[in-house]
Amino acid sequence: MIIDWLTGTAFRVAGTGTTWAELLGFATGVLNVWLVARQRIANWPIGIANVLLLMLLFGTAGLYADAGLQVVYVALGCYGWWHWLFGGERRSGLEVSRTGRGEWLTLAVVGVLLTGALWVLLDRATDSTVPLPDAVTTALSLLATYGQTRKRVESWWLWIAADLIYIPLYAYKGLHLTAVLYLVFLALCVVGLRAWRADLRRPDRLTPTPVPPGPAPATA
């Protein structure tokens, strides 16, 4: 079966087996983030394939919130794919934008509530050994993905915060290649942040489009 092959050992790192799912997750993950940084629409189908691989990987590693998170990622991936194509004021695609104060407040409230709910659920209903970090990274990742679907430049800061927790978390759980993957993600997030900021500073974004003159007013 394909699942048996994906969960089989591809090679070993520091005495710990690395599965094919982890290896393919590494490759598709790097490609996905690189495509997002360059605002390529292909990032969404590649990202959906990536999260399906990670769902299998995290489920077998006992990172239940992260595994369940991938289901939400599939839905967000489909939404983001559509919104990047048909969103924006003219339904012709999105442009990079900033997160407003009201949106930040909503995200903060949702993030705190989501983290608390997941922490309690993981602590009481599963055998997770890392309920709080798992909950925090899950909440940050969801908020970052939402921002990504709207092309909010600040979504990169949320990804950076999540990656700084993910790297030691995955190393602790023995997912060494995935820890390295998230180190690469961290570097790509910095690249993406700089690229999207540069997009905001484009001359055509800063200069208002001139309004063509209307017909001269009629005179008596």
Residue 181 lies in a domain: yes
pLDDT for 128: 81
Instruction: Please give the helix or strand (H or E) that residue 13 lies within, else none.
Output: strand 9-13
Residue 7 lies in a domain: no
Residue 10 lies in a domain: no
pTM above 0.75, yes or no: yes
Beta bridge mates, 9: 19
Distance CA 149, CA 184 (A): 21
Burial 87-110 (b: 16+ CB within 10 A, else e): beeeeeebebbebeeeeeeebeee
Distance CA 204, CA 172 (A): 47
Q: Are 144 and 162 in contact (CB under 8 A)?
A: yes
Range of the domain at 28: 16-87+100-204
Nearest to 103 by CA among 139, 155, 138, 141: 155
Nearest to 175 by CA among 74, 54, 3: 54
Query: Looking at the 3D structure of the chain, how many domains does it have?
Result: 1
Residue 66 lies in a domain: yes
Residue 94 lies in a domain: no
Alpha carbon dihedral 212, 215, 216, 217, in 10-degree steps, equals -120
Residue 104 lies in a domain: yes
Q: Are 185 and 26 in contact (CB under 8 A)?
A: no
Residue 41 lies in a domain: yes
DSSP state of 80: H
Residue 11 lies in a domain: no
pLDDT tens across the length of the chain (220 residues): 777 777 777 777 666 677 788 788 888 988 999 999 999 999 999 999 988 888 887 787 777 767 877 888 889 999 999 988 887 665 556 889 999 999 999 999 999 999 999 999 888 888 888 899 989 998 999 999 999 999 999 999 999 999 999 999 988 888 787 788 889 999 999 999 999 999 988 877 655 444 455 555 444 4
Nearest to 57 by CA among 159, 160, 173: 173
